[in-house]
A and B are shown apart, each in its own frame.
Chain A
Amino acid sequence: MNGEVKPNAPTWLKVLVLLHVIAITVWALPDPTPDALAKKRDPVGTEWLLYWNHRHLKQFQPIRAYVSVSGFWQYWDMFSPNPSQTDIWVDAIVVHKDGTERIYQYPRMFLLSIPEKFLKERYRKFYERVNNDQHAFLRPVFAQRIAHLNDDVENPPVTVRLRRHWQQILPPGKTQPTTYNDFIYYVHTVDQDKLERDRKATL
């Protein structure tokens, strides 16, 4: 159909495009602040619109279903509402059956070469979520994987202690800390059956 100008699009298509635009907009609009959401205070200014969107439109099941099922779900919160002010990384103390302890360094971007950083950034993102207390259910699997990575048939790991290291970034004009705090925040008893299954698995 070279050179042929088709007529404008059919009405059904326009309706679908309009519904799609409404759905992704409703879904992508920011959530109001937690205080406003929990009714600890009234929303302020444009927050009313977001509050209303969150309470009514975002909960509308067909919109949820459409964006969730299709893959169009999206939420854009890069460095917002405020960027993170805490530098965090993790390592683990792996205790083996004979009592020996080994430190396992979970990939830490700061220590990696530039190409490695490029390839392994997902480790940082994943840990950002594992570290969140709301996602504490991720920790046993996280620790079990570390046990697998430190497996030794003769002397298997029996306990994994996850240790968080963090440093608060202070605002301009204040002396920045130079050391990291650390804290063991989760102790995992290694599931030996799972360890055995993972040994046998080819992938």
Chain B
Amino acid sequence: MKSPSEKQPAEPEKGIFESLDDWWFGHGSPTTLGVFRILFGALVFASLVMVFVDWEAWFSERGYVPAWMGRLWLNPDVPLWPGWDFTVPRVGILSGVTNAHVAIGIYFATILFALLTTLGLWTRLSTILLAIGLVSMHHRNAIILHGGDTVIRVMVLYLAIAPCGKACSVDRLIRLWKGKDTGAPLRISLWPQRLIMYNMALIYFTTVWLKWFGNLWKPPIAGGEMTANWFPARLAEFYRFPYPEFLRDTPVVYFSTGATLIIEFSLATLVFYRPFRKWVLLAGIGLHGFIEYTMNIPLFSFLMVSMYVTFYDGEEVSAWFQRLGQRVGKLRASVHLPLGKRFDPRGAAFFDAVDPLKVVNYFPGEEERLAGSEVRKSWTHSMGGWLFGWIPGVWRNLLQRALEPIPDAPEAEITGKKGKRPTPRA
């Protein structure tokens, strides 16, 4: 018997540049970018809707920041080269706009594009227009922006250049339905995902570096006091939910201050090392969870944590969803198709795609027609089905149109999606 090393020749060891090149520009599943698009798109949508509450205060001529003030704060034209008079304008279709109806129209369009981005409908166009609208809003009034807004702006720009509609999107479902895509896994160049990862690491790295110049973050051994977390916990303007007093008192603040610095540094460095990845990201979730609970910094923690998914390959994300589906028995459902019917290939691919948890199994039934209860089970258990299933008649129509007769079926043959599941699950 041959040892594994004898069976196949060992791959020649790659140099550092080759490895980096592979990492940055290699190909992989688009699922991660699809999931990130949904998470981030929903957060951008929420953020934009929140602005609406005080839209007049921030974007109208009688608000705190009229158009001329926005231009004064952030020069709308930037010189391109030292000594040149030639300037380039910032992306800013709202720059100098004083007509409230035009401004609010652009604002509502931006919200619409955030929604379309989340759904993954006309994704390429939607993400580009969302980026233009959102960057324009930020350039119109940068005085109200906080860290979370900057995360949103930068990440929306990455979404605009990423093929983030290739998976987990309405676009993908339409292509499957029309037969333009088959159910076979797609592969994309991963450089946009790598840019997101890099930028996230950059956020943590630079903030830790800057903290090192303060005396409150560093430990006494490095000449600091390590009491930084004492202060924000006492700023009444940041209070949110109550929590035990000892958590904001010594000695816990020494520990939490040090832990913050270590976790942030790890999120910039160790997170790229696979054996540590999960633990570093869990620590990051713990850190941001605590911040979210105790401090009023809206959406920031959610935005940061949503980027963590990009540290996983698409295959890992898909496998995670499927494991979740297997573990939670309540999610599973058996759906009976009409007698003698099964999915045609595009239907099988479509209904496989709307069920990322892989919890819905389809079997031939005894009835001539699709029972209402079967239709309901089908869409309520398929996450992708939530998009359309609630519209009366749509899901039934999709199911019926995706079926074909089973040729020469002698008896009730069990048909699974794509024919890959020959037996029903118990």
- Does A181 interact with chain B (Cβ within 8 Å)? no
- Shortest distance between the CB of B91 and any CB in chain A (Å): 6
- State which of A91-99, A108-116, A152-160 sits at the interface with chain B: A108-116
Interface residues of A in 158-192 (CB under 8 A from B): 167, 169, 171-173, 176
Give complex CA distance A127, B216 in Å: 25
Q: Contact between A87 and B235 (Cβ–Cβ < 8 Å)?
A: yes
Q: Contact between A71 and B239 (Cβ–Cβ < 8 Å)?
A: no
Give complex CA distance A199, B417 in Å: 64
- Does A141 interact with chain B (Cβ within 8 Å)? yes
Interface size class of B (residues with CB under 8 A): 35 or more
Set B27, B131, B236: member contacting A110, Cβ < 8 A: B236
Q: Contact between A125 and B145 (Cβ–Cβ < 8 Å)?
A: yes
Q: Contact between B81 and A61 (Cβ–Cβ < 8 Å)?
A: yes
Q: Contact between B236 and A87 (Cβ–Cβ < 8 Å)?
A: yes
Interfacial chain B residues near A12, Cβ < 8 Å: none
- Does B72 interact with chain A (Cβ within 8 Å)? yes
Interfacial chain B residues near A28, Cβ < 8 Å: 202-203, 206
Q: Contact between B91 and A82 (Cβ–Cβ < 8 Å)?
A: no
Interfacial chain A residues near B135, Cβ < 8 Å: 70-71
Set B60, B147, B210, B297: member contacting A30, Cβ < 8 A: B210
- Shortest distance between the CB of B146 and any CB in chain A (Å): 5
Interfacial chain A residues near B53, Cβ < 8 Å: 119-120
Q: What's the tally of chain A residues with a CB closer than 8 Å to chain B?
A: 79
Give complex CA distance A3, B185 in Å: 6
Q: Contact between B210 and A77 (Cβ–Cβ < 8 Å)?
A: yes
Closest to B99 in A: A203
- Shortest distance between the CB of B136 and any CB in chain A (Å): 9
The 4 closest A-B pairs by CB, nearest first: A81-B214, A203-B100, A71-B135, A82-B214
> Which B residues are within 8 Å of any A CB, using their own CB?
21-22, 24-27, 50-51, 53-54, 56-58, 60-66, 69, 72, 78-82, 88-91, 100-101, 104, 131, 135, 138-139, 143-147, 150, 153-154, 157, 181-182, 184-187, 189, 191, 195, 198-199, 202-203, 206-207, 209-217, 225, 227-232, 234-241, 249-250, 253, 296-298
Query: Could you jot down 26 A-B contacts, CB within 8 Å?
Result: A3-B187, A6-B27, A6-B187, A9-B189, A14-B25, A17-B25, A17-B191, A24-B199, A29-B209, A30-B213, A62-B80, A64-B78, A65-B79, A68-B90, A69-B78, A70-B157, A76-B202, A80-B217, A87-B235, A109-B236, A119-B54, A171-B227, A197-B62, A198-B61, A201-B60, A203-B101
